[in-house]
Amino acid sequence: MVGWFSKLVVATTVRMPKWFVRWVSRRYVAGETLNEAMAVMKRLSSEGACFTIDVLGEEISSMEEANFFLEEYIRVMRAIREENLDANISIKPTAFGLLIDQKKGMENIRHLVEMAAKEDMFVRLDMEDHRVTTATIDAVLALHKEGLTNVGTVLQGRLFRTLADIDSLEESLGPGADYRICKGIYLEPEDISFTNYTDIVDATNAAIDRMFAAGSYVGVASHDQPVIDHTLSALKAHGMGPGIEDPRPNAGPNRHQKGPGYEFQMLLGVRGPLRRRLLKEGHRTRVYIPYGEKWYEYSIRRLKENPTIGSHVAKAFLMPWTNRP
């Protein structure tokens, strides 16, 4: 259960003036412009981190808006190459029009993935709420079928359907499946998802086990110690770890700018000391870098839909020395 203090921090923050929310969010959002995001990545590159970049903004009201995201991500890919950064991109399918015009939205996504393939760059399709879970998975399957294998999806541990989705993806893609697994930011209805913290963690850990057993690439996106500890135990059980070539007999192909079958992923500004400890131990760690003009909407949504972030906000405010980004 989320602590009362975290809930209080969230309730207070979302009612504060925009300037205050900006002050809080600057720790978790790389800025409004691509140049600001690049500056953050250059700074963190010195620590050995790698990145996935997200242009803020998701569900749109017209297909014209989708053009902005397509063009902006093209700029992102060019900047990554020009600066020689260890980074890939993460997109919201709804920002490309998937809920407005599924055919055109899919064309937009395909165009971007094709361009990324030419740059030997990976594209992650973020998982949004349950309205687009199936459509997002279907998009990945369709692209792989077309030979565009530089794309993977996100699955959310909290959803009841996740283990079945892993089995289905394994059947279609084999060990070529590439996941980001997280607990899930969206507070879904209790008839389709777990709502208790312990149940969500247990379900997420079960998904991690299923992915490792399938030979898939697994990006563990969590700041929760029980999930991190479980992942480390699972790696040991499979004989996997830093500097070890993936020993699983059913392991997927080696992936450019990826770890030996797995990596840890964390949000910018959250649990920096833990990320650096994992990096020091030799694990590949990826930082999620969001930027864009929609920083305010992104910040408020994350606070409202995941009140546990309130504890991180409070800690950063009261004890900044304990959690450098």
pLDDT tens digits along 174-209: 999 999 999 988 888 999 999 999 999 999 999 999
Rounded CA-CA distance 227/221 in Å is 9
Rounded CA-CA distance 170/246 in Å is 18
The pLDDT value recorded for residue 185 is: 80
* Amino acid identity, position 71: E
Rounded CA-CA distance 157/185 in Å is 10
The pLDDT value recorded for residue 30 is: 87
Give the CA diameter of the chain: 55
Closest CA to 94 of 102, 84, 85: 102
Distances (CA, A) of 246 to 41, 217, 220, 239: 28, 10, 16, 8
Condensed to tens digits (0 to 9), the pLDDT of residues 157-171 reads 999 999 999 999 999
CB atoms closer than 10 angstroms to residue 197:
15
User: Residue 17 pLDDT more than 90?
Assistant: no
The pLDDT value recorded for residue 295 is: 59
Catalytic residue from among 126, 165, 209, 246: 126
Q: What domains are defined for the chain? A: 30-291 (3.20.20.220)
Instruction: Quickly state the pLDDT bin for 28 (edges 50, 70, 90).
Output: confident
Q: What is the mean pLDDT of the chain?
A: 88
**Averaged pLDDT, 43-68:** 90
Catalytic residue from among 124, 158, 180, 255: 180
**Averaged pLDDT, 206-227:** 97
The pLDDT value recorded for residue 293 is: 80
Rounded CA-CA distance 109/291 in Å is 20
The answer to whether the CB of 100 falls within 8 A of the CB of 65 is no
Strand partners, 221: 265
The pLDDT value recorded for residue 1 is: 43
225-234, 286-295, 296-305: which has the minimum mean pLDDT? 296-305
* Amino acid identity, position 308: T
283: phi then psi, degrees, rounded to nearest 5: -80, 145
Respond yes or no: is residue 180 known to be catalytic.
yes
